[in-house]
């Protein structure tokens, strides 16, 4: 059965159980200790992912290959950064409870299972484990009406998406007789073997997964959940689950349905264009920085989907490089947002950043780096993310997609650069409270990666190349 391939997930789940029991039995507040255990668990799981062998486990339902390893390391990085940022924030907001890091851990286990799923059942199990913990996390500040609303909205809409995904999976199984992704691939080597019912099933699966990456028109939950959820939860939503859902989309489409590119490519192109357009134009009028980042993430998922629309290994490589850069620049931006506190209260308006360059030059510089990167300004990591994506689209002849991508990048640059203008040229507002060391660490680490990626792109690109080689062949 080769269960050792799932050792990272098993160890992480065991650490989660142990942390939960420890938190329950310890009488005084143990949030910080539990968070440390969880971050330690992420590190151990990361080492296990890097050292395990490739192959199939659990009778072909679980796969370990360069693609799963790449995405799992990125998921663990996003989860670890979110956990570090939550430490001081939760304490100052009065929601520091040991269950918080434990929920994050179990959600991460679900995401890691998603990245290694080679069967539609494993895929669904991982997805539901991830989602169940996210429902609770979104509503974690239970005395805050916005947080409760965010949790409820995500729960209802996610339930709808799960239903669509299950319906699609049942259609795929009904018309093909198998749930195994690789058996499906062998079955569909000749595209004419696909019945209309199977194609409808593929569309439903695509819709269910598009919801998880918040692509248009399945994005409606994103701005409200981003704004309402506690900010460390928003960081988590914006990083790790996006990577897990994107890896799932790539795996399912690039393995089972790779030969049917002609049938689903147009659908991905439409979703990608719609996401880029909405992300660019809907963010212009936003005054709340968390809502702005929600629309920004919708736009960025549109860019990442270009790689899937290309339908070959070069496109997948572009998407994987994009996701790495996206996770680090998004985590860094949210670390700057978490540092926005006055007299112990969190502030979220873009106008609250006025004159930040005079009051806190280091934070202003870091946020400027992230904004330039999100806008795709050359030499920042975001520029290279878009370069690899657009390059693969141009090589595949998807000129319309590339041109729309470039134009929406120009529109998006307006609202990113507006934030820099507010920080550097508006009259100074009141200073922010001193920020904790944990936030300074995340800002510095992600800022260095974002600003100096152009000096060392090779490790990320070659790892993405190796991971992409698993799909579309």
CA distances from 86 to 197, 251, 275, 442 (A): 46, 31, 29, 11
Distance in angstroms (rounded) separating the CA atoms of residues 68 and 60: 14
Per DSSP, the three-state class of 195 is coil
Q: Which two tokens stand for residue 448?
A: 């260095």
* Rounded distance between C-alpha atoms, residue 64 and residue 195, angstroms: 31
What tokens were used for 266?
Answer: 């147009």
Q: Residue 1's pLDDT is what?
A: 60
Residue 139, token pair as written in the block: 């509503």
Average pLDDT, the chain: 91
Query: Under a CB-based contact definition with an 8 Å cutoff, are residues 46 and 76 in contact?
Result: yes
- List, for residues 147-179, the tens digit of each pLDDT value: 999 999 999 999 999 999 999 999 999 998 889
Ranges of H-type helices in 26-65:
31-51
Overall average pLDDT of the 111-130 stretch? 93
Structure tokens at 459: 């490790």
**Bridge partners of residue 240, in order along the sequence:** none
Whether 87 has a pLDDT exceeding 90, the answer reads: no
Report the chain's terminal Cα–Cα distance, integer Å.
Answer: 26
H-type helices in 283-398, by residue range?
Answer: 289-310, 313-338, 356-359, 361-375, 381-395
Give the residue among 91, 54, 77, 11 at the shortest CA–CA distance from 325.
77
Work out whether strand 55-57 and strand 341-342 pair parallel, antiparallel, or are unpaired: unpaired
- 435 dihedral zone (left: phi>0; alpha: psi -120 to 50; beta): beta
- Rounding to the nearest 10 degrees, give the CA dihedral for residues 323, 326, 331, 332: 140
Buried/exposed 212-245: b ≥16 CB within 10 Å, e otherwise: bbbbbebbebbbbbbbbbbbbbbbbbbbbbbbbb
CA nearest neighbour of 4 among 138, 116, 123: 116
Residue 380, helix vs strand vs coil: coil
Of 206, 163, 202, nearest to 185 by C-alpha is 202
- The count of other CB atoms within 10 Å of the CB of residue 157 is 17
What is the model's pLDDT at position 429?
Answer: 83
| d(C-alpha 188, C-alpha 198), whole Å | 10
Supply 372's token pair.
């330039």
User: 399 is written with which tokens?
Assistant: 């000129």
Average pLDDT on 224-250 reads 93
Q: Is the pLDDT of residue 194 over 80?
A: no
User: Above 90 in pLDDT, residue 263?
Assistant: no
Kindly tell me the burial class for residue 444, based on how many C-beta atoms sit within 10 Å of its own C-beta (0-12, 13-18, 19 or more): middle
Give yes or no for residue 91 having a pLDDT over 90.
no
Question: How many C-beta atoms surround the C-beta of residue 48 within 10 A?
Answer: 18
Measured between alpha carbons, how far is 78 from 76 in angstroms, rounded to an integer?
5
pLDDT over 90, % of the chain: 68
Q: What CA–CA distance (Å, rounded) separates 304 from 315?
A: 9
Of 186-200, 289-303, 423-437, which range is least confident? Answer: 186-200
Instruction: Name the residue with higher pLDDT: 430 or 239.
Output: 239
In this predicted structure, what is the pLDDT of residue 324? 96
Q: Which residue has the tokens 């006025």?
A: 354
How many residues appear in the chain? 473
Rounded (5°) CA angle 93-222-154 = 75
Q: What is the pLDDT of residues 364-404, one digit of tens each?
A: 999 999 999 999 998 899 999 999 999 999 999 889 999 99
């Amino acid at each position: 059965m080769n269960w050792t391939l799932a050792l990272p997930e098993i160890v992480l789940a065991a650490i989660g159980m142990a942390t939960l029991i420890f938190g329950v039995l310890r009488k005084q507040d143990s949030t910080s200790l539990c968070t440390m255990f969880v971050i330690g668990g992420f590190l151990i799981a990361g080492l296990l992912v890097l050292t395990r062998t490739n192959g199939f486990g659990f009778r072909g339902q679980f796969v370990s290959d360069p693609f799963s390893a790449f995405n799992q390391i990125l998921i663990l990085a996003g989860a670890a950064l979110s956990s570090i940022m939550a430490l001081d924030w939760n304490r100052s907001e009065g929601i520091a409870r040991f269950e918080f890091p434990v929920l994050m851990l179990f959600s991460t286990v679900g995401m890691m299972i998603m990245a290694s799923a080679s069967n539609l059942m494993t895929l669904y199990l991982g997805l539901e484990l991830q989602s169940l913990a996210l429902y609770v996390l979104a509503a974690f500040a239970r005395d805050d009406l916005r947080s409760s609303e965010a949790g409820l909205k995500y729960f209802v809409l996610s339930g709808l998406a799960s239903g669509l995904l299950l319906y699609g999976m049942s259609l795929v199984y009904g018309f093909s007789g198998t749930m195994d992704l690789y058996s499906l691939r062998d079955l569909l080597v000749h595209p004419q073997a696909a019945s209309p019912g199977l194609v409808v099933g593929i569309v439903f699966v695509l819709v269910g997964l598009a919801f998880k990456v918040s692509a248009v028109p399945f994005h409606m939950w994103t701005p409200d959940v981003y704004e309402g959820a506690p900010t460390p939860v928003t960081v988590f939503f914006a990083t790790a689950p996006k990577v897990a859902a994107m890896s799932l989309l790539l795996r399912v489409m690039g393995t089972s349905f790779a030969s049917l590119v002609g049938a689903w490519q147009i659908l991905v192109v439409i979703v990608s264009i719609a996401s880029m357009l909405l992300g660019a134009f809907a963010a212009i009028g936003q005054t709340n920085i968390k809502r702005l980042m929600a629309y920004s993430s919708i736009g960025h998922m549109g860019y990442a989907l270009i790689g899937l629309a290309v339908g070959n290994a070069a496109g997948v490589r572009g998407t994987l490089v994009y996701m790495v850069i996206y996770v680090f620049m998004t985590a860094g931006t949210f670390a700057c947002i978490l540092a926005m506190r006055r007299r112990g209260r969190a502030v979220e308006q873009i106008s609250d950043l006025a004159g930040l360059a005079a009051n806190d030059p280091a934070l202003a510089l870091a946020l400027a780096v992230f904004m330039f990167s999100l806008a795709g300004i050359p030499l920042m990591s975001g520029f290279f993310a878009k370069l690899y994506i657009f390059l693969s689209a141009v090589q595949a002849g998807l000129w319309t997609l590339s041109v729309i991508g470039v134009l929406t990048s120009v529109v998006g640059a307006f609202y990113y650069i507006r934030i820099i203008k507010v920080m550097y040229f508006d009259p100074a507002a009141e200073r922010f409270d001193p920020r904790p060391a944990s936030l300074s660490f995340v800002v510095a680490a992600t800022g260095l990666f974002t600003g100096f990626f152009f000096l060392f792109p090779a490790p990320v690109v070659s790892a993405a190349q190796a991971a992409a080689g698993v799909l579309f062949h």
